[in-house]
Amino acid sequence: MSGRLSSLRARLAKIDAKLIDVARQELLANCNCKFGGLTFAHDPEKFEAEMNTPCPVHGFRDLGSVRHVVIVGKHGEPIDTTSNSRLGQLIKDYEIRRARCQDDLRVLELKDDLEES
């Protein structure tokens, strides 16, 4: 009887793990992050809207590596310096928020590791 019970528990644990995996996959399908990707930013308003769009899975949306695109004139001079400085500040703000979120994730992973051991 106890052999059948432990076999049943093992099967339930497998089913439980599979259900968690399926739920995780469904959740990740909604992720809009760009982990390891690139975001080219040239318009402050568009970038601000993009950086403030949350990820339905992770909360904070990872935009990958952000490149500040500066549009220049014939002689290499930046055309819109006001937009460029505003965009530069937005990118700095985004990078600070991203670093904080990565620190928070490391703390959560550390807590998980401690709870499992």
Helix axes 81-116, 44-51, angle to 10 degrees: 10
**Binding to Zn ion, residues 66-95 (CB under 5 A):** none
33 binding Zn ion? (CB under 5 A): yes
Minimum distance between the CB of residue 115 and Zn ion, rounded to whole angstroms? 23
Task: Out of 34, 42, 43, 57, name the contact with Zn ion by CB under 5 A.
Answer: 57
Distance from C-alpha of 77 to C-alpha of 70, rounded to nearest angstrom: 9
Residues in contact with Zn ion, counted by CB under 5 A, come to a total of: 5
34 binding Zn ion? (CB under 5 A): no
Query: In whole angstroms, how far apart are CA 39 and each of 11, 50, 55, 114?
Result: 45, 10, 15, 35
Minimum distance between the CB of residue 89 and Zn ion, rounded to whole angstroms? 24
